[in-house]
Structure 1
Amino acid sequence: MYLNSLSNSVYKKRSKKRICRGIGSGWGKTGGRGHKGQKSRSGGKIRKSFEGGQTPLYRRIPKFGFRSKKKKFFDEIRLFELDCFHNLKYINLSILKKINLINKNIKYVKIIKSGLINRPIIISGLSVTKGARLCIESAGGVVKS
């Protein structure tokens, strides 16, 4: 059986209901809209949040928070992510972009302490948290700002 061989013989295609076409149709005069009022008029729609004139909920509740635009240019790297790349001794922003650890649009990176690092690395031009700095220096690494 193919889609082009299907027929609609069992269910006859119904014609569209034509409203406001006289009394005999059963949908004459008001055409199922009732008498008067906003919903009976053409274009008489009421928006979803309309509450009958009462101040709507979205205006009663206070505004809070914001979305920082810095987020596009800022990223965090965890220590264990740096430990995965064994052949890297020297780490800076361009190297992190080259190994696809961060996006090309990132301008600021902060290294945070999450996990441990077991080898000495040299970090330059990146900000580092206190805990991460301690871990790097205890492993024999250096943090240059």
Structure 2
Amino acid sequence: MAIFDLDGFKAVNDTYGHPAGDEVLHAAGARMLAAARIGDTLGRLGGDEFALIVQAGSAEEVRLRVEGVLDALGRRPVVAAGVAHALSTTAGLAFVLAGTAPTPSLMLARADSALIRGKRREKGRVWVDGEVTMPTLFR
């Protein structure tokens, strides 16, 4: 499961208004849907966050597909309110291991944790659950 967060989206709403923000969200969702494959499940979690469930044969294939969605989002700007808005996106990715059955809420929490921790280090890329740990001070 991957969670995508549009970097800097709040500035679109604050500067150009919610109708422009809605246009950006619709365009982002359409690009993600176009980049997804048959069998993937895409949904908007709320605000500027989307979730994607990817079914693939290997962890590497999942990561490459999530990176492909990230690339599709940033390939060209979205025009909203007459202004071109570059889309930068960060994703958090959590894997389900074969033979395990974690709950959807656990998968969301793991992907969200990877997203939050990753955004603190570097935006605009995919961060895998467990790849970034919190400093001991914050545990």
Normalized against structure 2, the TM-score is what? Answer: 0.24
Higher strand share: 2
Structure with bigger helix share is 2
Structure index of larger Rg: 1
Q: TM-score, normalized by length of structure 1?
A: 0.23
